[in-house]
A = this chain, B = another copy of it.
Amino acid sequence: MATPAAEGTRARAPGRPRDASIDGRVTAATRALLAEQGYDATTVQAIAARAGVHASAIYRRWPSRIELIEAAVSPAADLAQFHPTGDLRRDLRRFMRAYVAMFAEPAAQAAVRPLLVHYQTAGAERDASGFLNISTRPQFAEILGAAAPGSVDPAIDPDDVFDMLLGSLLARSLVPTVASRRRPLERLVDLVIRAVEPRVQQA
């Protein structure tokens, strides 16, 4: 039951307001360390020193270095301010480019494979937090939901398409025989558009 003092005021988390600038400083320091010194050297202590914060400030925000590294090399932050325009091709392109740009960065290049190895060791089931997708999956569904009428079949499950697309983007970065072909991203945009559109079109 609300106390009189709380009535009429907006709900707020207890304690001091969290300093949002720390989040950005910490993830930037994480990316810099990954790029310069690699995955193993990117410890919470090293990140804290680089960012000029206490390790405790990091642990208040992320349970471990794994989640912090995931956050630092995820395109989620880049996509957080993105709202679909309704132009399916344009929106898909924007979404996919965020992943391609992220995977191309030295920080992600240093982190992605060790994270995959970590997931294997930790057990995939127990460690489904997901540097690669969990925070952009809803945004992908929004893109399909906002598309112009007739461009997305209602029978399509956006999560299935997202899974397919995520793997395809990952392969462009991780798998030599795919990466070396250097196919334009637009070819993948085309295939996704084809996969989601209604099967029988009115001429």
Q: Count the copies.
A: 2
A181 to chain B, nearest CB (A): 7
Q: Does A171 contact B (CB under 8 A)?
A: yes
**Chain A interface, DSSP helix/strand/loop, else mixed:** helix
A189 to chain B, nearest CB (A): 11
Report the stretch among A5-13, A17-25, A140-148, A158-166 that lies at the interface: A158-166
A161: chain B residues within 8 A (beta carbon)? 191
Report the stretch among A29-37, A57-65, A116-124 that lies at the interface: A116-124
A172: chain B residues within 8 A (beta carbon)? 163, 167
A177: chain B residues within 8 A (beta carbon)? 128-130, 132-134, 137
A176-B124 in contact (CB<8A): yes
Give the docked Cα–Cα distance between A120 and B110 (Å). Answer: 9
Further 4 A-B residue pairs, CB within 8 A, beyond A128-B176, A167-B172: A117-B117, A119-B176, A133-B178, A163-B188
